Amino acid sequence: MNSSEFRRRGKEMVDYVANYMEGIESRQVYPDVEPGYLRPLIPATAPQEPDTFEDIINDIEKIIMPGVTHWHSPYFFAYFPTASSYPAMLADMLCGAIGCIGFSWAASPACTELETVMMDWLGKMLQLPEAFLAGNQGKGGGVIQGSASEATLVALLAARTKVTRRLQAASPELTPAAIMEKLVAYASDQVVATLGTTSCCSFDNLLEVGPLCNKEDMWLHIDAAYAGSAFICPEFRPLLHGVEFADSFNFNPHKWLLVNFDCSAMWVKNRTDLTGAFKMDPVYLKHSHQDSGKLLPSPSGLHWQLPLGRRFRSLKMWFVFRMYGVKGLQAYIRKHVQLSHEFESLVSQDPRFEICAQVVLGLVCFRLKGSNKLNEALLQRINSAKKIHLVPCHLRDKFVLRFAICSRTVESSHVQLAWEHIRELAAAVLSAERE
Amino acid sequence: MNSSEFRRRGKEMVDYVANYMEGIESRQVYPDVEPGYLRPLIPATAPQEPDTFEDIINDIEKIIMPGVTHWHSPYFFAYFPTASSYPAMLADMLCGAIGCIGFSWAASPACTELETVMMDWLGKMLQLPEAFLAGNQGKGGGVIQGSASEATLVALLAARTKVTRRLQAASPELTPAAIMEKLVAYASDQVVATLGTTSCCSFDNLLEVGPLCNKEDMWLHIDAAYAGSAFICPEFRPLLHGVEFADSFNFNPHKWLLVNFDCSAMWVKNRTDLTGAFKMDPVYLKHSHQDSGKLLPSPSGLHWQLPLGRRFRSLKMWFVFRMYGVKGLQAYIRKHVQLSHEFESLVSQDPRFEICAQVVLGLVCFRLKGSNKLNEALLQRINSAKKIHLVPCHLRDKFVLRFAICSRTVESSHVQLAWEHIRELAAAVLSAERE
């Protein structure tokens, strides 16, 4: 495909994407297919000669779409949101074209430098303590990771390296293996200190945990994968109180801040803790500025993460932050929180139901008063009807339904319709139980 | 931004991308900027009110492009190639729109299923042993990872889990900690068995290593990150002989097979080895098909990789394989190999230079006969002139220049120009040395 065909096909794809987004509400949110549906629909081997673009675009509706769970449908209330916005998609197009791999400053200076500044922008939006910002002279700073799991693993490895060095300095006779045996990682039942758990969006008390960790010289990593985006609103910022005790902090703008996957934001107070754990310097990655004694704008991916390669992911943040503005992003978060409270209020007015956890942000945990079996039956009816999509969780042995505000385009009307639908199915389940 | 503005801006971005690609040859391949160049060019904080799209698109040329190393310039001969093609970019646009997170089959069946079939397509292109394919009933199969580092880590963890379980079954009195102390991982000086090393694209002998590993019941992981793409050509397939002894195999289509980053292809003979190491089953990820006793089409990201989330990355493979066809992909590989031999031949005809490693695929390692200092001076002149971009490596204490065929659009004329340029700079370096 040459560039003039790309101009044509690219514009067709832009229209396809816009059509998909405009019409997503009319698609069934959860697909009808059975496992193994796709293999019989396509050839067993790649074609020897090229297929046409028309063949492929036709196959999208025939083969792919029937098997898609539509995460951006306003009737999708499952898991947690995954971010999607037009500005992020535009940035991703540019990111694909530049196609640089940012494993060092020299590999594309703009990639390294924009990321540092965007992480400062975002850190300031969250009112993170100054110690987490890179600025011109700071020791801290932020880096984009692929996922919260990756960020947690990076924090663990950095913590391990740091304590190993400290112990070795104090007792040179200790071998790394002997030290390793003595290391302990404390975790809650959701791993590491968590703000906004997946099950029910509960919050650990950092003001209790934090000072203890600092006193015992323990690395404190805080994961706020979902909830973190809300901290750009002053009214939710108190949930982050105590972050000043942490060594590292992470949340996922790719969940709730309109920056398409992947974009997991991680900050550390001391970036040498990370570079110490990951440093590698093959000669083919050396460049003329690294020994200049200047503090290189972090992060070079090389010393901050597991994979050597990384895309120009900060472009997405730049486009989204600029095209929404902080106020636009705050309004977006507030709208979601308001919709979850609207749903909470509907549930509370129906005496057959109970709310199972405090509604803080965009998640409502609820259930029919009664047995787990009853609630499992309700969820099964909901997900079989496929008008809306929900997933469950367990809270203290109780089977609970999670209603998460997810889609960028969800409105009060969708929440109302979803609730009416749940009520109807609940009535059917309850009447089936009485028979 | 609503969808009608996206239609307009998306098409402008398509044109911007096409213009960038068409004009990339006239941009200086390596930027002029100094570390820290970007921060003073943009505000210290995100704007409160939205910026316009015009502001942003103007800033791309003003702020971003001056700091970009143009990996897709035909004068970029550094590192290894990173893949870029129009079909992959079109697929990425669709991937962004669908925006599903494929951590389980139910999270988007098409995402899981297309990936399995694409990995079979690719495995067949490489003539991988049947044992690595999923097919309808196979025990093996492929999964897309983010990077070769991730694939290697996954293989290590799977190997560790497998041997720990085997030893515990044989000697139930052993604790996991006691077993862990005894585990050994063997690696070459490039880590794990490697086909096509980064420094000089050398190849480990699998026919020696493989049977030994099998006899000792050791997990064998093979990394062919760069070279793997070449194995779709029958004439290069012998380099993969011995893969039948491996437990896992990995290469990066995002390097040399025209599938934009990230797409690292990993196969295992026994997928329960992976799911055993990573299995987690929170109730919010359960779905109605997983306990049906049917073999679910692998891979559900959840049990195959470190991050919980994953994009619909197989769309890129589907678009690229179909729009190039196997023959188109083979022709692409062959052209690059031919260009590296052309460069090799040019170097060989100049008695001042020497070739430092066998040229097998798209990489030529060469140097001026003489001291390392002389070659360091040559490389510095090359990268200061910024007409072309190269990086060095060390081969047995020798400082060596790497000339890697990278760009999708590089032609013989670019290689010839690059060589003329290198010769001129070499003459200057040699004459400076004589003075």
CB contact under 8 A, A101 and B261: yes
Distance CA A23, CA B353 (A): 63
A81: helix, strand or coil: coil
CB contact under 8 A, A100 and B64: no
CB contact under 8 A, A47 and B322: yes
| B179 interface with A at CB cutoff 8 Å | no
CA of B378 vs chain A CAs: smallest distance (Å): 14
Mean pLDDT over B55-62 rounds to 96
Cα–Cα distances (Å) from A284 to A107, A186, B187, B395, B400, in that order, read: 11, 39, 21, 11, 10
Give every CB contact of residue B364 below 8 A, 6+ residues apart in sequence: B340, B343, B344, B347, B355, B402, B403, B404
Contacts of B125 in chain A (CB under 8 A): 45-46
CB contact under 8 A, A289 and B35: yes
Candidate from A292, A326, A402 with C-beta closest to B48: A326
Distance CA B57, CA B52 (A): 9
Q: How many CB atoms lie within 10 A of CB A213?
A: 18
pLDDT digits (tens, 9 = 90+) for B161-178: 888 888 888 888 888 778
Predicted complex ipTM: 0.93
Task: Check whether A221 has a pLDDT greater than 50.
Answer: yes
CA of B322 vs chain A CAs: smallest distance (Å): 5
Give the best residue of B200, B257, B323 to mutate against chain A (max A CB count within 10 A): B323
> A262-298: buried (b, 16+ CB within 10 Å) or exposed (e) per residue?
bbbbbbbbbbebbbebbeeeeebbebebbeeeeebbb
Task: Check whether A294 has a pLDDT greater than 70.
Answer: no
Task: Please report which confidence band the pLDDT of residue B294 belongs to, taking 50, 70 and 90 as the band edges.
Answer: very low
Candidate from B30, B70, B150 with C-beta closest to A307: B150
Q: Which has the closest alpha carbon to A54: B315, B84, B322?
A: B322
CA quadruple A98, A104, A107, A111: dihedral sign:
positive
Give the best residue of A144, A153, A318 to mutate against chain B (max B CB count within 10 A): A318
Q: Which two tokens stand for residue B80?
A: 């290894």
HSE at residue A132, side-chain half, CA atoms within 13 A, is 28
**Three-state secondary structure of chain B:** CCHHHHHHHHHHHHHHHHHHHHHHHHCCCCCCCCCCCCHHHCCCCCCCCCCCHHHHHHHHHHHHHHHCCCCCCCCECCCCCCCCCHHHHHHHHHHHHHCCCCCCCCCCHHHHHHHHHHHHHHHHHCCCCHHHCCCCCCCCEEEEECCHHHHHHHHHHHHHHHHHHHHHHHCCCCCHHHHHHHCCCCCCCCCCEEECCCCCCCECCHHHHHHHHHHCCCCCEEECCCHHHHHHCCCCHHHHCCHHHCCEEEECHHHHCCCCCCCEEEEECCHHHHHHHHCCCCHHHCCCCCCCCCCCCCCCHHHCCCCCCCCCCHHHHHHHHHHHHHHHHHHHHHHHHHHHHHHHHHHHCCCCEEECCCCCCCEEEEEECCCHHHHHHHHHHHHHHCCCECEEEEECCEEEEEEECCCCCCCHHHHHHHHHHHHHHHHHHHHHHHC
Candidate from A38, A391, A392 with C-beta closest to B110: A38
Residue with token string 């495995």 = B123
Point out the least confidently predicted range of A40-54, A286-300, A415-429, B402-416. A286-300
Residue A201: per-residue pLDDT: 82
Chain A residue closest in CA terms to B321: A46
A residues 346-375 closer than 8 Å to B (CB): none
Contact, A211 vs A97, CB < 8 A?
no
Distance CA A322, CA B57 (A): 11
pLDDT digits (tens, 9 = 90+) for A147-191: 888 888 888 888 888 888 888 888 888 887 788 777 888 877 668
CB contact under 8 A, B322 and A147: no
For the CA atoms of B429, B431, B432, B435, the dihedral, rounded to the nearest 10 degrees, stands at: 160
Mean pLDDT over B399-410 rounds to 98
Contacts of A86 in chain B (CB under 8 A): 1-3, 5-6, 9-10
Contact, A97 vs B116, CB < 8 A?
no
pLDDT digits (tens, 9 = 90+) for B233-277: 999 999 999 999 999 999 999 999 999 999 999 999 998 887 766
| A181 interface with B at CB cutoff 8 Å | yes
Task: Check whether A87 has a pLDDT greater than 90.
Answer: yes
Distance CA B164, CA B168 (A): 6
Point out the least confidently predicted range of A180-189, A196-205, A412-421. A180-189
The mean predicted confidence, pLDDT, of chain A is 91
Give the best residue of A2, A5, A13, A233 to mutate against chain B (max B CB count within 10 A): A13
CB contact under 8 A, A9 and B68: no
Task: Check whether B205 has a pLDDT greater than 90.
Answer: no
pLDDT digits (tens, 9 = 90+) for A351-393: 999 999 999 999 999 999 999 999 999 999 999 999 999 999 9
| A22 interface with B at CB cutoff 8 Å | yes
Contacts of A22 in chain B (CB under 8 A): 3
Give every CB contact of residue B208 below 8 A, 6+ residues apart in sequence: none
Give every CB contact of residue B177 below 8 A, 6+ residues apart in sequence: A181
Residue B292: per-residue pLDDT: 39
Residue with token string 């663990």 = A156
Give the best residue of B11, B14, B54, B124 to mutate against chain A (max A CB count within 10 A): B14
Residue A368 DSSP code: E
Distance CA A222, CA A129 (A): 14
Residue A424 DSSP code: H
Give every CB contact of residue B88 below 8 A, 6+ residues apart in sequence: A96, B258, B259, B260, B316, B319, B320
Distance CA B260, CA B88 (A): 6
Q: Which has the closest alpha carbon to A269: A123, A368, A402, A404?
A: A123
Residue B413 identity: S
CB contact under 8 A, A110 and B4: no
Helix (H) or strand (E) holding A392: strand A391-395
Q: Which two tokens stand for residue A270?
A: 């001391």
Q: Which has the closest alpha carbon to B98: B363, B424, B107, A316?
A: B107
Distance CA A94, CA B92 (A): 11
Residue with token string 């297929």 = A51
A267: helix, strand or coil: strand
A72: helix, strand or coil: coil
B residues 29-48 closer than 8 Å to A (CB): 30-31, 33-39, 42, 44-48
HSE at residue B377, side-chain half, CA atoms within 13 A, is 16
Task: Please report which confidence band the pLDDT of residue A281 belongs to, taking 50, 70 and 90 as the band edges.
Answer: low
Contact, A297 vs A88, CB < 8 A?
no
